[in-house]
Amino acid sequence: MALPKIDVPTYELKVPSSDKIITVRPFSVKEEKLLLIALESKDQNEIINTVKQVVNNCIVKGEFNVDKAPFFDIDYLFIALRAKSIGEKVGVKLSCNNVLEDDEVCGEIFNAEMDINNCEILEEDISNDIKLGGDKGVRMKYPGYGAMKRIDGGLEIDRKIDMVIQSIDFIYDKDGTYPARDQSKEELQEFIESLTEENFRKMEEFVDNFPTFAVRIEADCPKCGFHHNVRYTDFMDFFL
Ligand SMILES: [Zn+2]
């Protein structure tokens, strides 16, 4: 005889990049298990694919493509789902950098509680159309989750160039457009490295201002009493 199916709660979330509402359910034991297995593998591709799969599994209704969405959508949905599954209040450590009367920094490290519901997306208004002089230019996009997470290691300038390459939607001139997906990474790298410093900086500005999300936390330092009202952005612990 079939066992009864236990109803799971569903709730609505707003997709940061599109403002569309989707209906989701919390992680089940199955998804928690998939995540643990992926983390134990320490294999980056497996972790990336599992995070995407788990987010996809939990979407009950609505339009969302985990392969096409920008990285910060997946970051946000994953953390929101995780919060709904393990609890919306999470303990974090804050360090107090309040300057005291004797010019010393307080330095106290203390526990505070983060409520994931106080999540906000921080966005700068940066144009995605980068003019490179004459009729030439580049149209930028936000990288997907996998592309973004694979940018890792090496020199900072190499990571930056990588990030710029992953953010190119297409290059254009008076004759037409050249989609980045039709070029090899080497060709795009060569293109970027041949730009003037000034033009590179315009593209760099775009990637330096990717939307990120933060959770507002308010807490009083137990040592000096300073009232902290901070935007918490370090979610690494949440993923690992
Ligand atoms: Zn303090």
Arithmetic mean of pLDDT, 47-68: 94
C-alpha 216 – ligand 1 centre gap (Å)? 18
Mean residue pLDDT of the chain comes to 90
pLDDT at site 238: 58
43 within 8 A of 32, measured Cβ to Cβ = no
| Helical axes 185-193 vs 156-166, angle rounded to 10° | 110
Q: What is the pTM of this model?
A: 0.80
Which tens digit of pLDDT belongs to each residue from 5-41?
888 889 999 898 898 999 999 888 999 899 899 989 9
C-alpha 219 – ligand 1 centre gap (Å)? 10
Token couple for 76: 């946000």
pLDDT at site 87: 75
C-alpha 92 – ligand 1 centre gap (Å)? 16
Arithmetic mean of pLDDT, 183-207: 94
For the chain, counts of helices (H) and of strands (E)? 8, 12
Say what the alpha-carbon torsion angle 179, 185, 187, 189 is, to the nearest 10 degrees: 110
Which amino acid would we find at residue 72?
A: F
Rg (CA), the chain: 21
C-alpha 94 – ligand 1 centre gap (Å)? 10
pLDDT higher than threshold 70 for residue 236 = no
